[in-house]
Amino acid sequence: MLLTTKQLFEKCYGRYAIAAVNVFFMEEIHGLFAAAQQTGSPFIVQTTPFARDYAAAEMLLAMINAAAKIYPDTVFAIHMDHGYEEHIYDAVAKGGYTSVMIDASHDTFDKNIERTKAIVELAHSRGISVEAELGVLAGVEDDLTVDAAHSFYTNPQEVEDFVAATGCDSLAIAVGTSHGAYKFSGGQGLQLHILNEIQKRLPGFPLVLHGGSNVSSEVVERINAAGGKIKTDARGVQDDEIRKAIPLGVCKINIATDMRLVWTMVNREFFRDKPDEFAPTTPGKTFIETYKNFMISKFELFGSTGKA
Ligand code: 13P
Ligand code: G3H
Ligand code: NA
Ligand code: ZN
């Protein structure tokens, strides 16, 4: 069943979080929907502009809609992640999304409000929910790299005015996470006191955590044992940080890097262990199964199992 993110957040606020999973190709979509169906977990399937350029938006949406038929008990929203105006206009014109993110977080506060408000008016007229962002995350997100010096935490003093002025349905915040595999190499971790300040000012309002990957050291070690060179000081968001963030209003947790790492592990091990094989379907099947089990453990951690 296709819902908006607003509908999903009304049910989960303060109790559990919805995994928002970036998809780029068919095997991920199978693994994700299979995990959700098997565990009865609601989820958000999301595409970045980069994914739309890579696979074509029509291809991704057709695969997602096919998956909804193949896995008919699933409950989910289709979200555009990190959209700019051009992508959102295109998505609204062609249809298919129940939720969009307008990422004007790199603009000034006033400009961010102006751009977000315009998208809210357009999207709400079509029944589409809007995620906005305040604060700047470090890291690598598609083709945009933000170094630590240019990132900044969300200012809790600004959140009430921003939400009131824009009418957005959820707010992505910068509270120490970053995009990509090298999140807390400075070791500072999730800034729960800032999150707490934000939640006090926006009680009941859904917050979004970008950069939610865990960057499992077991997966990184297996990749490197199979010829990879992922830096081993990489550290993602820890399970206990996630558990503390959910009661503080985090309703949506974005995951993309962890999928890339699982994909890299499965394929590197395949090429190392089966040098005489050349069928994409062999590592493809292993990936679907491995990714399904990985997502089942995420749903369990986020508390969404059985909530569909
Ligand atoms: P990760 O890099 O932690 O997977 O975050 C992804 C994300 O925030 C997508 O919007
Ligand atoms: O931000 C969304 C893009 O998919 C980038 O994801 O942070 O895992 O590289 P990433
Ligand atoms: Na998003
Ligand atoms: Zn993001």
Domain range enclosing 139: 5-302
C-beta neighbour count of 247 within 10 angstroms: 12
Lowest mean pLDDT among 62-76, 135-149, 220-234, 251-265: 135-149
Q: How many angstroms does the Cα of residue 40 sit away from the middle of ligand 1? A: 23
- Report the distance separating Cα 251 and Cα 14, nearest Å: 7
- Given a contact cutoff of 8 angstroms between Cβ atoms, the answer to whether 50 and 143 are in contact is yes
Q: Is the Cβ atom of 176 under 6 angstroms away from ligand 1? A: no
Identify the band that residue 295 occupies on the pLDDT scale cut at 50, 70 and 90. very high
Number of H helices, E strands in the chain: 12, 11
For residue 186, CA distances in Å to 128, 137, 236, 238 come to 38, 14, 11, 15
Q: What is the pLDDT of residue 140?
A: 73
Q: The domain that contains 118 carries what CATH number?
A: 3.20.20.70
The predicted model gives 74-89 an average pLDDT of 96
Annotated binding residue at 41? Answer: no
Ligand 1 neighbourhood includes 81 CB (under 6 angstroms): yes
Residues near ion ligand 4 (CB < 5 Å) are 210
d(CA 9, CA 85): 24
| 63: pLDDT strictly greater than 70 | yes
pLDDT at residue 299 is higher than 70: yes
Mean pLDDT computed over 115-129? 98
Question: Count of domains in the chain?
Answer: 1
Catalytic residue set: 81
Q: Is the pLDDT of residue 189 over 90?
A: no
Q: Is 15 within the bounds of a domain?
A: yes
Residues near 288 by beta carbon (within 8 Å), at least 6 away in sequence: 27, 30, 31, 34
Q: Is the CB of 257 under 6 A from ligand 1?
A: yes
The pLDDT tens digits of the residues spanning 203-247 come to 999 999 999 999 999 999 999 999 999 988 878 999 999 999 999
**What is the three-class DSSP state of 76?**
strand
Q: Which of 255, 261, 264, 298 to mutate to test the pocket of ligand 1 (most atoms within 8 A of CB)?
A: 255
Q: Which ligand is nearest to the CA of 21?
A: 1
| pLDDT surpasses 60 at 186 | no
CB 171 within 8 A of CB 208: yes
> Which percentage of the chain shows pLDDT scores above 70?
98
Residue 94, token pair as written in the block: 């062609």
Confidence (pLDDT) at 145 = 77
Say what the ipTM of the complex is. 0.76
Q: How far apart are CA 235 and CA 214, in angstroms?
A: 7
Domain annotation covers residue 307? no
Q: Is 308 a domain residue?
A: no
Model confidence at 187, in pLDDT bands (50, 70, 90)?
low
Q: State whether the beta carbon of 255 lies less than 6 angstroms from ligand 1.
A: yes
Compute the average pLDDT of residues 162-177. 96
Judge whether 171 lies within some domain.
yes
Mean pLDDT, the chain, integer? 95
CB of 180 within 6 A of ligand 1: the answer is yes
* Measured distance CA(242)–CA(154) in Å, rounded: 18
pLDDT at 146: 74
Q: Answer yes or no: is pLDDT of 170 > 80.
A: yes
Atom of ligand 2 nearest to the CA of 81: 2
The verdict on whether residue 79 carries a ligand-binding annotation is: no
